[in-house]
A and B are shown apart, each in its own frame.
Chain A
Amino acid sequence: DSGVTQTPKHLITATGQRVTLRCSPRSGDLSVYWYQQSLDQGLQFLIQYYNGEERAKGNILERFSAQQFPDLHSELNLSSLELGDSALYFCASRAGLAGSSDTQYFGPGTRLTVL
């Protein structure tokens, strides 16, 4: 158990809909990362937050957005869903910023299926 929790575990929805994925980082961790894992694209970094502020952006679509709240939990919002958005979405947390010796700890993921 990494200490990172993600809800829900599974999500099935239809094209055009909007969903919200939730992540609670390990106690005390300030950084949260979101990743998408799909069969064709592999594991891709989407976005990072540190203490409530966006720090880095990867291959995140404009239809996707995220935020980190004062209690440090984070939400990833996916809208106008397409079939190709079906994937595993992982959240990871770490204590500090890049360059420190600490490690990213991954949650168990949310499996999104778009029908």
Chain B
Amino acid sequence: AQSVTQLGSHVSVSEGALVLLRCNYSSSVPPYLFWYVQYPNQGLQLLLKYTSAATLVKGINGFEAEFKKSETSFHLTKPSAHMRDAAEYFCAVSPMNRDDKIIFGKGTRLHILP
């Protein structure tokens, strides 16, 4: 079975500061891992996806995430936050080759302070 835990339902960072959103997963089989972003009144947009090709995954809008098997983590980072990054971020997991079984975390709302 798969599960995802996102640490912190709300995270606030200053504009220009490092963004770090934490995600830990549990999976009985090798996983696919995802980060999605949801802007206000919009659907989810894929930021990046880990499919075992490389442990450091680069996504859109300057985000990246590193898969750490030993820590069962897939934290999302961005070196310098922008006001437009304010949104809700979802980490998700699925069994490898079965991403019809995708399980989402509860989400982390990112606030950017001027």
Does A70 lie at the interface of the complex (its beta carbon under 8 Å from any beta carbon of B)?
no
Residue interface mask A51-79, B partner, CB < 8 A = 1 = 00001100000000000000000000000
Does B43 lie within 8 Å of A98, measured CB to CB? Answer: no
B87 to chain A, nearest CB (A): 14
A55 to B101 Cα, complex, angstroms: 11
Does B51 lie within 8 Å of A43, measured CB to CB? Answer: no
Chain B interface, >50% SS class: loop
The size bracket of the interface on B is: 20 to 34
Residue interface mask A71-103, B partner, CB < 8 A = 1 = 000000000000000000010100001110101
Residues of chain B lying within 8 A (CB to CB) of residue A99: 97-99
Does A106 lie within 8 Å of B45, measured CB to CB? Answer: yes
Does B106 lie at the interface of the complex (its beta carbon under 8 Å from any beta carbon of A)?
yes
Known A43-B90, A90-B44: A98·B101 in contact at CB below 8 Å? yes
Please report B residues at the A interface, Cβ cutoff 8 Å: 36, 41-46, 49, 51, 90, 94, 97-107
